[in-house]
């Protein structure tokens, strides 16, 4: 049996991962008896100088693989992005297929392509990326490659991708619903069902969910996300209410008020392992 651990959305740069964070993560993985770690995208905004050195450090302790998220693509060419897509690893009878995925605006069909592009170019991180095709075409190309690959495989299949493959995981807050267009596509789920994929691990949207079975596919979504979103940070304000601000719903603002306080730094050190463990998905594969 091989025990595979999955994580996503570490955002090493924003979360200021250093030696202590790496050491804590390694310790968690060893205590959970993880044989192989796969990271499903968004390691950082700098693949070459931040993400790859971090992966190499991790590999000194545990075999590690990854696929790209949209943040990892910053500064990469289309050819470089493609080089990380659709990798297959075999663990006993089980095959792990990893790729990025993309989005085609189909989660928000009531708006036109032009409206989506205006929203993307005004607000969304991906306006900084240099992709060769438009978003629906990128998604169609990814789906075609995925279909050909899945049709060629047999035995149990686990999928790791970055983008959201089912509408059940979208934003439900009215303000954020327009951004659902840039989260993924239901067409990925349809292929997972057709080719009897057993488990799918993904991230991108920074919410953690319990295992959800949809049409026979087990979905796992437990991204780490930004430190301002962590349970650890919310719990700090519960335990130290004197540091609460009037606009607690503004996650960035409330985090900035405490991020350098000795109380918070000590609290983070004490509870970081629990936060990392909560963002870890574990799947056991048969030999």
Residue ranges of domains in the chain: 2-285
- Please check the confidence at residue 287 and state whether its pLDDT lies above 80: no
Q: What is the mean pLDDT of residues 193-200?
A: 98
Instruction: Tell me the percentage of the chain whose pLDDT exceeds 70.
Output: 100
Confidence band, pLDDT 50/70/90 cuts, at residue 78: very high
What is the pLDDT of the chain when averaged over all its residues?
96
Q: What is the 3-state secondary structure (H, E, C) of the chain?
A: CEEEEEECCCCCCCCCCCHHHHHHHHHHHHHCCCCEEEEECCCCCCHHHHHHHHHHHHHCCCCEEEECCCHHHCCCCHHHHHHCCCEEEEECCEEEEECCCCCCCCCCCCCCHHHHHHHHHHHCHHHHCCCCCCHHHHHHHHHHHHHHHHHCCCCCEEEECCCECCHHHCCCCCCCHHHHHHCECHHHHHHHHHCCCCEEEECCCCCCCCCEEECCEEEEECCCCCHHHCHHHHHHHHHCHHHCCCCCCCHHHHHHHHCCCHHHHHHHHHHHHHHHHHCCEEEEECC
Ramachandran region, residue 43 (left: φ > 0; alpha: ψ -120 to 50; beta: rest): alpha
Residue 110 tokens, joined = 């009531």
The span from the CA of 223 to the CA of 39, in Å, is: 10
The span from the CA of 85 to the CA of 162, in Å, is: 11
Confidence band, pLDDT 50/70/90 cuts, at residue 140: very high
Among residues 176, 186, 265, which one has the least CA distance to residue 227?
265
If one counts every other C-beta atom within 10 angstroms of the C-beta of residue 145, the result is 14
pLDDT digits (tens, 9 = 90+) for 142-188: 999 999 999 999 989 999 999 999 999 999 888 889 899 999 999 99
Is there a contact between 199 and 159 (Cβ–Cβ < 8 Å)? yes
Q: What pLDDT score does 122 carry?
A: 93
Q: Specify the pTM.
A: 0.96
Q: What pLDDT score does 173 carry?
A: 87
CATH number 3.40.50.40 given to 2-285: no
Backbone angles phi, psi at 160, to 5 degrees: -120, 120
pLDDT digits (tens, 9 = 90+) for 255-269: 999 999 999 999 999
Q: What pLDDT score does 269 carry?
A: 97
CA distances from residue 228 to 13, 14, 255 in whole angstroms, order as listed:
13, 10, 5
pLDDT digits (tens, 9 = 90+) for 267-279: 999 999 999 999 9
Q: What pLDDT score does 126 carry?
A: 96
Q: What pLDDT score does 176 carry?
A: 84
**How far separated are the first and last CA of the chain, in Å rounded?**
5
Q: What pLDDT score does 110 carry?
A: 95
Q: What pLDDT score does 286 carry?
A: 82
b/e map 228-246, b = 16+ CB within 10 Å: bbbebbeebbeeeeeeeee
Among residues 122, 79, 81, which one has the least CA distance to residue 102?
81
- Please check the confidence at residue 133 and state whether its pLDDT lies above 90: yes
Which residues share a beta bridge with 281?
A: 6
């Amino acid at each position: 049996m091989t025990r595979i651990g999955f994580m996503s959305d570490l955002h090493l740069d924003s979360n200021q991962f250093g030696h202590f964070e790496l050491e804590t993560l390694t310790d968690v993985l060893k205590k959970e008896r993880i044989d192989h770690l796969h990271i499903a995208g968004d390691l950082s905004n700098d693949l070459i100088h931040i993400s790859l050195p971090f992966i190499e450090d991790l590999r000194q302790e545990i075999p590690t693989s990854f696929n790209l998220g949209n943040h990892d693509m910053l500064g990469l060419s289309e050819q470089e992005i493609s080089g990380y897509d659709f990798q297959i690893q075999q663990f006993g009878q089980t095959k792990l297929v990893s790729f990025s995925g993309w989005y085609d605006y189909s989660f928000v069909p009531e708006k036109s392509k032009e409206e989506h592009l205006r929203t993307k170019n005004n607000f969304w991180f991906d306006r900084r990326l240099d992709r060769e095709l438009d978003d629906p075409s990128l998604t169609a190309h990814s789906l075609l490659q995925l279909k050909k690959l899945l049709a060629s495989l047999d035995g149990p299949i686990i999928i790791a991708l970055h983008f959201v493959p089912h509408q059940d995981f979208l934003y439900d807050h009215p303000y954020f619903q327009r951004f659902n267009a840039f989260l993924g596509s239901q067409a990925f789920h349809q292929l997972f069902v057709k080719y009897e994929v057993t488990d799918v691990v993904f991230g991108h949207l920074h919410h953690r969910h319990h295992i959800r079975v949809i049409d026979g596919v087990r979905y796992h979504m437990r991204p780490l996300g930004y430190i301002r979103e962590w349970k650890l940070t919310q719990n700090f304000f519960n335990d130290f209410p004197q540091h609460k601000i009037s606009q607690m719903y503004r996650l960035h603002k409330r985090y900035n008020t405490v991020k350098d306080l000795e109380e918070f730094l000590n609290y983070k050190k004490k509870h970081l392992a629990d936060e990392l463990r909560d963002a870890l998905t574990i799947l056991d594969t048969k030999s």
